[in-house]
Chains A and B, each alone.
Chain A
Amino acid sequence: MRYGTTTAVDGLSLEVQPGTVTAILGPNGAGKTTTIETCEGFRTPQSGSVRVLGLDPVLDAKKLRPRVGVMLQSGGAWSGSRAHEMLRHMASLHAHPLDVDLLIERLGMQSYGRTPYRRLSGGQQQRLNLAMAIVGRPDLLFLDEPTAGLDPQARRATWELIDELRGHGVTTVLTTHFMDEAETLSDHVHIVDAGRLIASGTVAELAIAGAEETIRFTTRAGLDLHALMSALPHDTKVAEPAAGHYVVTGAVDPALVSAVTRWLADQDVLTETMHVQRQTLEDRFLDLTGHTLR
């Protein structure tokens, strides 16, 4: 997918299983929106193919549109339309829409029903956009950053709703740059960066793949890392990424933990905290992209 001479998405290949939640995770500008909008039929790829529910998003748009619910990253409503009016209008375009009043209640949208879209807060607009995406009872949902700009409670509520939709057999594809969102919600995560798919799998698979386990401990700064390393098995590495924060990387087993604590005891150093941990999705993401995420 190219815009002028810029290639936004290149050789990105992924598949989504029905009835699951798939997260496309990546830093800003990675090509998440381009990918999802190609699936929505807004863009035609210069090469390659897209099939959504077995249909071509551009050529079979007429058949596909009723079955797909779309939440754009921003906008999508008349600036002068009132919140409930807009939702009812979207409902009126579908044959068997959700009960609008119940949906309004479910999403906590009762208090701003007559407020014009342009005067809704960012979070209220997001909720309306989500409601507009699901009101037609689609088989498949494309949500572009569904929780951007939401407060923590509203994010939780959105997650619960997406989870409940999955329970009813709705397939969801969402983009996000929130790690916890991908971890909490999704069955599958695809990490994209600079228009390429760089890793795919379940959250657990991604976190484990190539993972080295670590022991992290904090104590006073400036321990002699070479001395510590020589007291540990050969393939173990020790680093002090921030003053007083130490990371021991290697094959973590009880012997290693014991070796670390024994050496610390010999130095008469008391650790303040000590964690034995597996790699998280966030660590993995950092390894893969070199980008920090929120």
Chain B
Amino acid sequence: MSLDLSPRPGAAPIGSMLRHQAQMELRLLSRNGEQMLLTLIIPLVLIVLGARSDQIVDLGPGRPIDIITPGILALAVLSTSFTSLAIATGFERRYGVIKRLGASPLPRWGLMVGKVTAIVIVEIIQLSILVTVGLLLGWEPAGGVTAWLQMLCLIVLGTAAFGALGLLIAGTLRAEATLAVANLVYVLLLVGGGLIVPLDRYPDQARHLLELLPSGALGQGLRDTFAGAGPEPFSVVVLIIWAVCCGLGVSRLFKWE
């Protein structure tokens, strides 16, 4: 058989394009070693350490594993929807991938759908593993089915807020700057963003600030949820505002190349 070079243009069906795009994104994410470190190894180490954390950090009253596990879930969301997404997108811009795909039949919104699908799949795997490990270490989530549903909503909102923030940074800064900012924000929020350490352990002024951050809102929201109380409406509103504002920023400011 020889190569038939005659023109026969046409776009693939949209469903097929989206499926291939998401698969490609997922393969690239899973191939990246730093990615694995960020999405699984760091949270796993922290959850194991946290289970006996009386000696390391003061998490306040209650069993450490019950306090730390929801925070680790929030951290997992941060690492995937913010840090990985921002870094990957920043380098895609740098290497002209977004530009090249912009000249392909894949619509720009299809590019975003591919990314979101890949992130959601990574999060599902990540959260399943972390929840299982948490339960094995003795985590006793309160709140029953309602709590799991509330968790799902919070994670969707958290993913939207962090994802939009990540895209905003990746779409406006240079790739190297994005890499630096994304990692720095990850470390800062991990240590002092209200993700893992409950907000009431912080001094008053810091707590008021952290309540306004997506990390504080998601971390505290998940802790309240699995304490059986359900998230504070305020936490939910904070996440929605971040998602909407950063989303608008992305649609206005994102530079494709």
Q: Which 4 A-B pairs have the closest CB atoms?
A: A75-B96, A95-B10, A76-B100, A70-B103
In contact, B11 and A95 (Cβ under 8 angstroms): yes
With A96-B8, A168-B7 as contacts: A77 and B95 at CB distance below 8 Å: yes
In contact, B5 and A79 (Cβ under 8 angstroms): no
- Restricting to B1-28, which residues have a CB under 8 Å from any CB of A? 1-13, 16-17, 20-21, 24, 27-28
A233 within 8 A of B: no
CA distance A207 to B147 in the complex (A): 79
CA distance A164 to B75 in the complex (A): 55
In contact, A134 and B10 (Cβ under 8 angstroms): no
In contact, A94 and B11 (Cβ under 8 angstroms): yes
Give the total number of A-B pairs whose CB atoms are below 8 A apart: 120
Query: A residues within 8 Å of B by Cβ?
Result: 40-42, 62, 65-68, 70, 72, 74-81, 85, 89-90, 92-96, 98-99, 102-103, 106, 117, 132, 134, 136-139, 164-165, 167-170
CA distance A90 to B17 in the complex (A): 10
In contact, A103 and B7 (Cβ under 8 angstroms): no
Query: B residues within 8 Å of A by Cβ?
Result: 1-13, 16-17, 20-21, 24, 27-28, 31-32, 91-92, 94-97, 99-100, 102-107, 257
In contact, B5 and A42 (Cβ under 8 angstroms): no
In contact, A165 and B105 (Cβ under 8 angstroms): no
In contact, A76 and B31 (Cβ under 8 angstroms): no
Shortest distance in angstroms between A229's beta carbon and chain B's nearest beta carbon? Answer: 55
Closest B residue to A117 by CB, please name it. Answer: B95
Q: Of B5, B17, B32, which contacts A168 at CB under 8 A?
A: B5
Shortest distance in angstroms between B131's beta carbon and chain A's nearest beta carbon? Answer: 29
CA distance A72 to B16 in the complex (A): 25
In contact, B257 and A66 (Cβ under 8 angstroms): no
6 extra interchain contacts, Cβ-Cβ under 8 A, other than A94-B11, A94-B12, A99-B3?
Answer: A93-B11, A93-B17, A94-B105, A96-B8, A102-B2, A132-B100
Residues from chain B with Cβ under 8 Å of A92 in the complex: 12, 16-17, 20
Residues from chain A with Cβ under 8 Å of B2 in the complex: 102
CA distance A79 to B9 in the complex (A): 27
In contact, B100 and A136 (Cβ under 8 angstroms): no
Q: Is the interface of B mostly helix, strand, loop or mixed?
A: loop
Residues from chain A with Cβ under 8 Å of B103 in the complex: 40-42, 65, 68, 70
Q: Of A40, A65, A89, A96, which contacts B24 at CB under 8 A?
A: A89
CA distance A164 to B100 in the complex (A): 24
Residues from chain A with Cβ under 8 Å of B107 in the complex: 62
In contact, A81 and B28 (Cβ under 8 angstroms): yes
Q: Of A42, A76, A134, which contacts B95 at CB under 8 A?
A: A76
CA distance A81 to B7 in the complex (A): 27
CA distance A42 to B256 in the complex (A): 9
Residues from chain B with Cβ under 8 Å of A81 in the complex: 24, 28
With A62-B107, A79-B95 as contacts: A138 and B3 at CB distance below 8 Å: no
Closest A residue to B5 by CB, please name it. Answer: A168
CA distance A209 to B27 in the complex (A): 56
Residues from chain A with Cβ under 8 Å of B5 in the complex: 98, 134, 137, 164-165, 167-168, 170
Q: Of A70, A72, A85, A137, which contacts B9 at CB under 8 A?
A: A137
Shortest distance in angstroms between A149's beta carbon and chain B's nearest beta carbon? Answer: 16
Closest B residue to A74 by CB, please name it. Answer: B96
Residues from chain A with Cβ under 8 Å of B8 in the complex: 95-96, 137
Residues from chain A with Cβ under 8 Å of B257 in the complex: 42
Q: Of A93, A99, A136, A137, which contacts B6 at CB under 8 A?
A: A137
CA distance A136 to B8 in the complex (A): 8
In contact, B9 and A76 (Cβ under 8 angstroms): no
Among B11, B20, B103, the one with the most A-chain Cβ atoms within 10 Å of its Cβ is B103
Shortest distance in angstroms between B170's beta carbon and chain A's nearest beta carbon? Answer: 14
A-B contacts, 24 listed (Cβ < 8 Å) = A41-B103, A42-B99, A42-B102, A62-B107, A66-B9, A78-B28, A78-B95, A79-B91, A80-B32, A90-B104, A92-B16, A93-B20, A93-B21, A93-B105, A95-B8, A95-B12, A96-B8, A98-B3, A98-B5, A102-B2, A102-B3, A136-B105, A139-B7, A169-B7
Shortest distance in angstroms between A134's beta carbon and chain B's nearest beta carbon? Answer: 7
Among B5, B31, B32, B106, the one with the most A-chain Cβ atoms within 10 Å of its Cβ is B5
